[in-house]
DNA sequence: CTGAAAGCGCTTACAG
DNA sequence: CTGAAAGCGCTTACAG
């Protein structure tokens, strides 16, 4: 099937290209009769305006891009999925299309197939950056080129970038406070990689609570590098074999908690009686663990909406630089603590 | 920061636009010295060729788009994620960028923000279609416009479309066979919505095995509309309350199996001793359930690669229409049966 | 090895 | 209410 251009439609309906452009853009200054005529031809030909040409001319694509990292061969998980879903809804409501692409802080420069290439080369108007690193070159780039973007997470390298993040210090604080308030004495806090700001902050919050509320009968320990389900499993297994055996485990990420659960059950221990498990994220799936996992709510919908609104403001020029929003976490009580 | 065009670079380096175009496209017919000069200016200016213009001119974007449906407010899950990951790797290897977008069979026509809009309007060269429906208008559209695409799943409406699918009849057959071979007598098969071909086929395979191997002492039942974790949970709960109590459950989708596990454990039953659970998909997470779930392997990497290769052939014109590949499922034995 | 010019398919002042 | 023409930023025969 031939693919028609605006020119074809113009010829076929006996008007100028300018007029066709008017009708496809809903310009009111077209005689009803003319509009009909053109619309008819469009319907018959199946004409669709070429977005490449339109965007090139208008210098905007009306599409946003969200970058997610394929962490070391692993993929984004349920948390990212839920966040992305909310963002897509929000984008749609505001007349933007949103597309997801993978991009990694490390490989973007050389790799033409890293999704970041699309943004650098003008295929999107703005970006949501997940999984940024410290001194992330992509952030540097977007900043210097004045491309609208918002970070999901924290940026300590600049003052003028915008981000939305959970208050992770508070999240750590809450985690410690909650577990202690439930009478737990031997608490293991399992966090991801130490290089990520999020984990540093959670550790800080945990330490702060512990320091503020000393208890000689308590033992608490922070472990890093628990970066996926498998590690959550093996590290929990090790921990449960030690003495004293932890009676509570905080695990960074509800999804990874699956590994914790398995290790606990393999020792024939019960959750929460013998070992309490506290997660964070509040992904939907967590409500169906056995038992449903008590977790720290990241307020995924609020985070997503806030991030996109900041981005929209940058896009229409009404936003200021360096808008930073910290979302307050809260405990979602279920049955694992 | 000013954004430079090829024209700026040409002026700045004292050559023509044509020559700049040559160096950015690695045309060998450029004097080394000239190339140096141009490259230097490019580095200094931070020039990046505009992809919109390039694509408009070349009539190809070098990007592929994968469409995933947000099923009724739910999002795609771990299975989709793993499939998408494999596809992105494969695309990258072959010099394509790949982007993910949400699109639904129902809303794509009216909705400018449905991702399908991008493809219709020329922002990608080809598509991978997840979650198509029967009489899917999008498939109709792509077919008539001769846009390269491949379906992940089945298409019964045409002969000339290409797809890659698991042999779902065989998968159902295998599920029944395996569970029966393990001596299970009261088997519950939980499938998703009856309107999806995949579920019809799995049911067919199950029935075929059962019919071929009659056993008066056996009771087997197929239930539909178990479409998410929550339903898997509640329907399992109901089933376990009935008599005779199932001693084996096949659940369509490892992720949904989480709900099955929970319901089983809440009745203080043991897996697999009292209730065997067989999943399908072989998502990574399943290896960390308690116990690790025995599942039907969908061969995700093979499926993804096959799909993309078919798409590549269509893109370079070497492919024929109607390439259909059926992947053979196999049992991945772990500890839940 | 290099360049002038046309053209990809749109939109947009500017005229009328 | 409608149109002729320039221009968005590239690539590509065609010449030389």
**How many angstroms is C1' of D16 away from CA of A121?**
34
Name the DSSP letter for residue B288: G
- Residues A313 and A318: their CA atoms lie apart, in Å, by 5
pLDDT > 70? residue B216: yes
| B contacts of A47 (beta carbons < 8 Å) | none
Output the CATH code of domain B168-298.
3.40.50.2300
What is the SS3 assignment for A106?
coil
Kindly tell me the burial class for residue B133, based on how many C-beta atoms sit within 10 Å of its own C-beta (0-12, 13-18, 19 or more).
middle
Mean pLDDT computed over every residue of chain A: 93
Neighbours of A96 (CB within 10 A): 24
Largest CA distance in chain A: 89
Neighbours of B264 (CB within 10 A): 25
**Which residue lies nearest C3, CA-to-C1' measured?**
B16
Please give the CATH topology (third level) of the domain spanning B63-166+302-329: Rossmann fold (3.40.50)
Measuring from the CA of residue B27 to each C1', which nucleotide is nearest? C1
- Residues B204 and B226: their CA atoms lie apart, in Å, by 17
Closest-CA residue of chain A to B259 = A288
For residues B208-236, give the mean pLDDT: 96
Q: What are the tens digits of pLDDT across the range B37-50?
A: 999 999 999 999 99
B55 touches chain A (CB under 8 A): yes
Q: What are the tens digits of pLDDT across the range A77-126?
A: 889 989 998 999 999 889 899 999 988 887 776 677 788 999 999 999 99
pLDDT band with cut points at 50, 70 and 90 for residue A320: confident
pLDDT given at position A106: 79
Partner B, chain A 288-317, Cβ-Cβ below 8 Å? 288-290, 292
- Any idea which architecture B6-49 has in CATH? Orthogonal Bundle (1.10)
Of B150, B157, B109, B143, nearest in space to B126 by CA:
B150
Q: Name the residue ranges covered by the structural domains of chain B.
A: 6-49, 63-166+302-329, 168-298
Q: What percent of chain B has pLDDT over 90?
A: 79
Closest-CA residue of chain A to B69 = A85
Chain center to CA of B250? 22
pLDDT band with cut points at 50, 70 and 90 for residue B320: confident
Measuring from the CA of residue A21 to each C1', which nucleotide is nearest? C11
pLDDT band with cut points at 50, 70 and 90 for residue B319: confident
Q: Which two tokens mark B21?
A: 């175009």
| Cβ-count burial B38-53 (b if 16+ within 10 Å, e if not) | beebbeebebbbbbbb
For residues A199-211, give the mean pLDDT: 97
pLDDT > 60? residue A73: no
Helix locations, chain A, DSSP H: 6-13, 17-24, 32-45, 51-58, 78-93, 116-120, 137-145, 168-181, 197-212, 229-241, 257-266, 300-315
pLDDT given at position B107: 74
pLDDT band with cut points at 50, 70 and 90 for residue B75: low
Q: What are the tens digits of pLDDT across the range A231-289?
A: 999 999 999 999 899 999 999 999 999 999 999 999 999 999 999 999 999 999 999 99
Q: What are the tens digits of pLDDT across the range A290-301?
A: 999 999 999 999
In this predicted structure, which of A121-130, A269-278, B106-115, B172-181 has the lowest mean pLDDT?
B106-115
pLDDT given at position A1: 57
pLDDT band with cut points at 50, 70 and 90 for residue A67: very high
For residues B128-157, give the mean pLDDT: 92
pLDDT band with cut points at 50, 70 and 90 for residue B306: very high
Looking only at the bridges linking them, the beta strands covering A330-332 and A294-297 are antiparallel
pLDDT given at position A279: 98
Mean pLDDT computed over every residue of chain B: 93
Residue contact A290–B96, C-beta within 8 A: no
In this predicted structure, which of A170-179, B89-98, B312-321 has the lowest mean pLDDT?
B312-321
Q: What percent of chain B has pLDDT over 70?
A: 97
For residues A181-192, give the mean pLDDT: 97
HSE of B50, CA atoms in CB hemisphere, 13 A:
20
For residues B163-173, give the mean pLDDT: 97
- Residues A186 and A167: their CA atoms lie apart, in Å, by 25
Q: Do domains A63-166+302-330 and A168-298 have the same CATH topology?
A: yes
- Any idea which architecture A63-166+302-330 has in CATH? 3-Layer(aba) Sandwich (3.40)
Partner A, chain B 233-292, Cβ-Cβ below 8 Å? 233, 255, 258-259, 261-262, 265-266, 284-285, 287-290, 292
pLDDT band with cut points at 50, 70 and 90 for residue A185: very high
Looking only at the bridges linking them, the beta strands covering A248-251 and A219-223 are unpaired
pLDDT given at position A222: 98
HSE of B215, CA atoms in CB hemisphere, 13 A:
17
pLDDT > 70? residue B166: yes
pLDDT given at position B211: 97
For residues A58-66, give the mean pLDDT: 94
Residue contact B122–A285, C-beta within 8 A: no
Residue contact A122–B52, C-beta within 8 A: yes
Q: Which bases of chain D come closer than 7 Å to a protein CB? A: 1-5, 7-13
In this predicted structure, which of A106-110, B54-58, B205-209 has the lowest mean pLDDT?
A106-110
Q: Bridge-partner residues for B115, per DSSP?
A: none
Of A75, A155, A130, A132, nearest in space to A321 by CA:
A155
**How many angstroms is C1' of C3 away from CA of B6?**
15
Helix locations, chain B, DSSP H: 6-13, 17-24, 32-45, 51-58, 78-93, 116-120, 137-145, 168-181, 197-212, 229-241, 257-266, 300-315
**Which residue lies nearest C9, CA-to-C1' measured?**
A53
What is the SS3 assignment for B128?
strand
Q: What percent of chain A has pLDDT over 70?
A: 97
């Amino acid at each position: 099937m031939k693919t028609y251009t605006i020119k074809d439609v113009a010829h076929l309906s006996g008007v100028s290209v300018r007029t066709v452009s008017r009708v496809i853009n809903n310009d009111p200054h077209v005689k009803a009769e003319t509009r009909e005529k053109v619309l008819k031809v469009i319907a018959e030909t199946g004409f669709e305006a070429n977005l490449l040409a339109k965007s090139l001319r208008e210098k905007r694509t009306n599409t946003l891009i969200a970058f997610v990292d394929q962490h070391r061969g692993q993929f984004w998980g349920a948390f990212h999925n839920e966040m992305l879903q909310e963002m897509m809804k929000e984008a749609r409501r505001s007349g933007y299309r949103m597309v997801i692409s993978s991009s990694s802080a490390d490989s973007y420069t050389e790799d033409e197939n890293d999704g970041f290439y699309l943004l650098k080369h003008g295929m999107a108007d703005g970006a949501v950056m997940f999984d940024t690193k410290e001194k992330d070159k992509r952030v540097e780039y977007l900043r210097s080129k004045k491309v609208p973007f918002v970070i999901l997470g924290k940026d300590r390298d600049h003052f003028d970038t915008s981000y939305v993040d959970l208050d992770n210090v508070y999240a750590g604080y809450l985690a410690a406070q909650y577990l202690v308030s439930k009478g737990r004495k031997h608490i293991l806090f399992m966090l991801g990689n130490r290089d990520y700001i999020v984990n540093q902050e959670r550790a800080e919050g945990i330490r702060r609570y512990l320091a503020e509320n000393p208890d000689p009968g308590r033992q608490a320990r922070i472990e890093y590098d628990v970066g996926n389900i498998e590690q959550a499993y093996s590290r929990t297994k090790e921990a449960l074999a030690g003495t004293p055996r932890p009676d509570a485990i905080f695990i960074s990420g509800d999804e990874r908690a699956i590994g914790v659960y398995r290790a606990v059950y393999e020792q024939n221990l019960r959750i929460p009686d013998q070992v309490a498990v506290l997660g964070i994220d509040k992904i939907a799936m967590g409500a169906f663990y056995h038992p449903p996992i008590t977790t720290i709510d990241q307020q995924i919908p609020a985070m997503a909406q806030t991030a996109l609104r900041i981005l929209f403001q940058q896009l229409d020029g009404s936003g200021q630089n360096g808008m930073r929003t910290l979302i307050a976490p809260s405990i979602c009580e279920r049955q694992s603590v």
